[in-house]
Amino acid sequence: MSLEIIRRIQKGETNLFVEVVDAYKDKAFSLTLKILKNREEAEDSLQEAFLRLYKAIMNNSYEAKAKFSTYFYTIVYNSAIDLYRKYNVKSFNVTSIEINEAKYSDGDELIKNYESKIDKNLYAADDYSTEKVIEKGEVKKIINDYINSIPEQYSVILNMFFLNDLSHEEISQILKIPVGTVKNRIFRAKEKLKELLFRTFKKEELLDYIKV
């Protein structure tokens, strides 16, 4: 978002803020939903985030910040975390990545547990075969299942990186974790997904599917 747009919003062109909301709401909602796992709470959290953003624009506190996306997603993430802490009796068990950093020194323990769970399920499945035509939606289902079941330490980062187009540095800044950890988690999560697909389908089958 350019400084020009911010100036115009400050001068009272509220319709421009509507455009900002419309441009970011879906992607940001996906992130809050990933954290809170409840549509209603995710919407409330995002409303709060946009309201905070509006106030920041109107009282000029935004201008000091270098990049809009970093500033905006910090608000989005913090609003979601605030709401989670307010209702932390619920079963959501991760969210605060920094808390779990202490629990799982580099996060490796958690993904290893998750990977072994995937491996176990995969080899136990009857439909595991080396030759078949990939059915429509089959790959998508595997990817969806993977994304939905991966631990939050990974899914939040993947969401920020792939969906919200944030850089490694921005994610590191927002989540207050080292850039190396961010890169490592994206790489591992993607490699694991690739491995999962290659165990289910042959490389050629997958390439044929992609071409279609």
Partner 1 sequence: MNELNNINDFLDNSMKSSMLDKPGDDFTAKLMLEIELAKEFQKEDKTTFRYLNLFIIGIIGSIVSSVFILVALLGNRVNENDTATEGILSGMYNFIEGVSQKIFGLLGFRMSGDTVLYVMAIGFVIVIYSLLDKLVFKRNTIN
CA atoms within 13 A on the CB side of 171: 27
Asked if 135 interacts with partner 1 (CB under 8 A), we say: no
Asked if 159 interacts with partner 1 (CB under 8 A), we say: yes
How many chain residues are in contact with partner 1, going by CB under 8 A?
41
Measured CA to CA in angstroms, residue 38 lies from 20, 21, 162 at distances of 24, 20, 21
CA atoms within 13 A on the CB side of 150: 26
- Rounded Cα gap, residues 87 and 159, in angstroms: 23
Among 5, 122, 179, 193, binds partner 1 (CB under 8 A): 193
* Least separation in angstroms between CB 2 and partner 1: 21
Contact criterion met (CB below 8 Å) for 170 and 67? yes
* Least separation in angstroms between CB 30 and partner 1: 4
Asked if 47 interacts with partner 1 (CB under 8 A), we say: yes
* Least separation in angstroms between CB 171 and partner 1: 14
Asked if 92 interacts with partner 1 (CB under 8 A), we say: no
- Rounded Cα gap, residues 152 and 121, in angstroms: 20
Contact criterion met (CB below 8 Å) for 35 and 80? yes
Asked if 18 interacts with partner 1 (CB under 8 A), we say: yes
Cα dihedral 40, 44, 49, 54 in deg (nearest 10) = 130
Contact criterion met (CB below 8 Å) for 146 and 154? no
**45-53, 67-75, 87-95, 99-107 -> range binding partner 1 (CB under 8 A):** 45-53
* Least separation in angstroms between CB 50 and partner 1: 5
Among 94, 122, 139, 179, binds partner 1 (CB under 8 A): 139
CA 117 to chain centre: 22
Asked if 182 interacts with partner 1 (CB under 8 A), we say: no
* Least separation in angstroms between CB 102 and partner 1: 27
- Rounded Cα gap, residues 58 and 52, in angstroms: 10
**Which residues contact partner 1 (rule: CB under 8 A)?**
10, 14, 17-18, 21-22, 25-27, 29-30, 33-34, 39, 42-43, 46-47, 50-51, 54-55, 58-59, 139-140, 143-144, 147, 158-159, 162-163, 190, 193-194, 197, 203, 206-207, 210
